[in-house]
Amino acid sequence: MTPVLFAAVGGLFPALTGTLNIALEGLLLTGAFASIAVYHYSASVTASIFAAVFASVSLSALHAFGAFRLRANIFISGLAINLFSGGLCAVLSGKIFNTRGVVAMTSVPGLLKWYLIFGFFLLLTAWLVIYKTPFGYRLRACEKNADALNSLGINDKFYQASALLISGFFAGLGGAFLSLNLGAFVPGMSSGRGWIALVVIFLGGRKPQGILAAAFIFALAEAFSNYAQGFLAIPSDFILAFPYVCTLIAMIAVSVFPKR
């Protein structure tokens, strides 16, 4: 649940401003690679996590610059980040590790067992920021009435860009967990979790508590697909597709039975 939860909480901020950060997939992958690369040289979990956050926030800044400064379509810009991150990780992996395949490391210390607890703390912090601070009020006002904000001298684009940077921060944390928990970097290891995180945001009603419940459901589906390979006489490709089938069903259910 951890990487999906982090990515979804981060993606909630742009969603509340009326935009959608579809670059979460690429941000997760970039964070995963940056953390394992820095751990290779420093053997420090803390430095690796900071590196993952820095890399993802930097890509988010590039995304925001393209979307709000250069006036590019925000969805095309997000897709470009996803494509760019995959190629960037492959090239850097070849330069640093002389391989574009799996980068295996030594075992990472057990600090990561507290990662999910840290995620719950950040989820609570996100709730406080969104609903109890002036920043959160203005963030949500970007979607509801951006003209009213601008009439008060408040730039709605600033809050939309800030939301993208915040989503990069959370995605970097999620990406760091992906690679450090495994002790390796695998090309494409985000495996659609960024896209699932987008579904989790809307399935959870764009609320932190709803996101927590939806992330748990999808994590349960993924855990089932992993363990079912050992005792179900079904081709593994079908079993591994189970979480994505659940995602599709959830999207259809939300569309057919909208919240009143």
129 in any annotated domain: yes
**Residue 103 β-bridge partners:** 185
Rounded to whole angstroms, the Cα distance separating 38 from 46 reads: 10
What six digits make up the tokens of 177?
Answer: 């967990």
CATH number of the domain that residue 173 is part of: 1.10.3470.10
Say if residues 35 and 179 touch (Cβ distance below 8 Å): yes
In the block, tokens 């799996």 appear at 102
Position 18 in a domain: yes
CA distances from 260 to 39, 205, 211, 216, 257 (A): 48, 12, 18, 24, 9
Is 70 inside a domain boundary? yes
pLDDT tens for the chain, 260 residues: list them.
889 999 999 999 999 998 889 999 999 999 999 999 999 888 888 899 999 999 999 999 999 999 999 989 999 999 999 999 999 999 999 888 888 888 887 666 666 678 888 888 999 999 999 999 999 999 999 988 888 888 888 888 999 999 999 999 999 999 999 888 888 898 888 888 999 899 899 888 899 998 998 888 888 888 877 777 666 667 767 777 777 787 778 777 777 766 55
Can you tell me whether residue 231 is helix, strand or coil?
coil
Q: Is residue 93 part of a domain?
A: yes
CA angle 53–58–63, rounded 5-degree value: 125
* Rounded to 5°, angle at Cα 122 from 22 and 221: 60
- Which pLDDT value is given to residue 76? 93
pTM of the predicted structure, to 2 decimals: 0.89
Domain membership flag for residue 199:
no
75 lies in some domain: yes
Number of domains in the chain: 1
* Boundaries of domain holding 34: 2-188
Task: Kindly state whether residue 243 falls inside one of the protein's structural domains.
Answer: no
pLDDT digit string (tens) for 71-129? Answer: 899 999 999 999 999 999 999 998 888 888 888 876 666 666 788 888 889 999 999 99
Domain assignment present for 92:
yes
Q: What is the pLDDT of residue 170?
A: 96
